[in-house]
């Protein structure tokens, strides 16, 4: 398969997300709610600027879609957008907590498991079909979780919560696939900000102290711009010409890079049983995606030739 700039964009997006734990760990001394509060707020400001300056056409098109929709479709759009915003905010909060207070391995395992959990939810909730080999891959993933749970229920439980929150978010967005993803994300971040503003205290966030802390602001701005909005743009650019299946295979670079960082950069260790469990989840990922590769390569070639 010939690699193109679209493949490069997808690779760059998931490599960037894979290195996310490094700047996040620089904020380990701050409450997770404080990091979440400013990440959401700064990402919203940046995304709003992009939408207003460079994506006005998408904003108008989404408005026209909404006005042309039936009353039931409008309710569905508003409800799933609000639900998606809540799930994404919860996922960000859980991931920040897991990486800074549990382990980078736990966060990496969550996103290695997430695509398979998404497939399982798609089958259970949306009625999407699963091939027998995909069912076997899901079973192998569950076996891996069971093996890890025998050693540390808390760590595995947190990984599953991170994975499940993002998998549920992805399922809600599949229903809204006709709408511009960046516009929907902007609406979700706006809703998340409106919810977080009155919850700053219970979350442990102190906005006044955050605005006065230059180091905290700079790192959080890096998280928002370089590790949230930029890779999202790259991913959307890649999805414009590559099939979702091909991008789905490339997304495993994210947790694999994070796993490498956990052992090489952060000095974390794992027992032989944990390593075996991690190996099983990698095998399940390969098994889940293997039968589609030839068809996806053909699909990509047709898209790129168009």
**E strands of the chain, at which residues?**
none
Please check whether residue 299 is in contact with residue 248, taking contact to mean a CB–CB distance below 8 angstroms.
no
> Rounded to whole angstroms, how far apart are CA atoms 270 and 254?
19
The pLDDT tens digits of the residues spanning 119-137 come to: 788 888 878 777 788 788 8
The pLDDT, as a whole number, for residue 240 is 64
> Rounded to whole angstroms, how far apart are CA atoms 142 and 163?
13
pLDDT bracket for residue 244 (50, 70, 90):
low
pLDDT bracket for residue 284 (50, 70, 90):
confident
Nearest CA among 248, 247, 252, 245 for reference residue 294: 245
Nearest CA among 236, 251, 234 for reference residue 289: 251
> Rounded to whole angstroms, how far apart are CA atoms 63 and 55?
13
Please check whether residue 49 is in contact with residue 125, taking contact to mean a CB–CB distance below 8 angstroms.
no
DSSP state for residue 69 in the 8-state scheme: S
- For residue 144, the number of C-alpha atoms closer than 13 Å in the C-beta half-sphere is 26
- Weakest-pLDDT range from 20-29, 150-159, 258-267: 150-159
Nearest CA among 191, 194, 193, 236 for reference residue 80: 191
pLDDT of 19 > 60? The answer is: yes
Going by C-beta distance under 8 Å and a sequence separation of 6 or more, which residues neighbour residue 216? 27, 30, 34, 38, 210
pTM of the model: 0.86
The pLDDT, as a whole number, for residue 292 is 55
Q: What is the CA radius of gyration of the chain?
A: 19
The pLDDT, as a whole number, for residue 139 is 85
Q: Which two tokens stand for residue 109?
A: 């395992």
DSSP state for residue 292 in the 8-state scheme: G
The pLDDT tens digits of the residues spanning 179-231 come to: 888 899 899 999 999 989 888 888 889 998 899 999 999 999 999 999 998 98
> Rounded to whole angstroms, how far apart are CA atoms 88 and 170?
9
pLDDT bracket for residue 306 (50, 70, 90):
low
Going by C-beta distance under 8 Å and a sequence separation of 6 or more, which residues neighbour residue 185? 47, 232
Q: Which two tokens stand for residue 202?
A: 């219970």
Q: Is 271 left (phi over 0), alpha (psi -120 to 50) or beta?
A: beta
pLDDT of 86 > 90? The answer is: yes
The pLDDT, as a whole number, for residue 27 is 95
Residue 130, number of CB atoms within 10 A of its CB: 16
The residues spanned by each domain of the chain are 5-305
Task: Taking the CA atoms of 18, 19, 23 and 29 in sequence, report the sign of the dihedral they define.
Answer: positive
């Amino acid at each position: 398969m010939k690699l193109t700039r679209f493949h490069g964009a997808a690779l760059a997006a998931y490599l960037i997300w894979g290195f996310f734990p490094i700047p996040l760990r620089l904020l380990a001394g701050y409450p997770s709610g404080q990091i979440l509060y400013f990440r959401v707020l700064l990402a919203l400001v940046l995304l709003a600027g992009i939408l207003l300056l460079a994506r006005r056409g998408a904003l108008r098109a989404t408005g026209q879609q909404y006005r042309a929709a039936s009353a039931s479709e409008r309710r569905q759009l508003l409800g799933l957008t609000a639900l998606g915003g809540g799930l994404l905010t919860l996922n960000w909060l859980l991931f920040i907590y897991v990486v800074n207070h549990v382990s980078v391995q736990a966060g990496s395992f969550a996103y290695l498991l997430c695509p398979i959990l998404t497939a399982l939810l798609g089958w259970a909730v949306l009625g999407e079909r699963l091939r027998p080999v995909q069912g076997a891959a899901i079973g192998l993933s569950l076996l891996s979780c069971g093996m890890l749970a025998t050693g540390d229920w808390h760590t595995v439980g947190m990984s599953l919560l991170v994975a499940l929150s993002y998998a549920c978010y992805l399922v809600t967005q599949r229903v809204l696939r006709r709408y511009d993803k960046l516009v929907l994300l902007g609406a979700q971040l706006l809703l998340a900000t409106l919810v977080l503003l009155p919850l700053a205290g219970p979350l442990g966030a102190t906005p006044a102290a955050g605005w006065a802390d230059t180091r905290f602001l700079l790192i959080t701005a890096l998280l928002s711009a370089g590790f949230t909005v930029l890779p999202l743009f790259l991913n959307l650019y890649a999805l414009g010409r590559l099939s979702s299946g091909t991008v789905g295979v490339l997304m495993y670079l994210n947790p694999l890079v994070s796993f490498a960082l956990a052992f090489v950069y952060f000095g974390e260790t794992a027992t032989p049983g944990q390593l075996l469990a991690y190996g099983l989840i990698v095998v399940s990922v390969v098994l889940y995606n293997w039968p589609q590769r030839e068809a996806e390569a053909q699909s990509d070639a047709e898209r790129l030739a168009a």
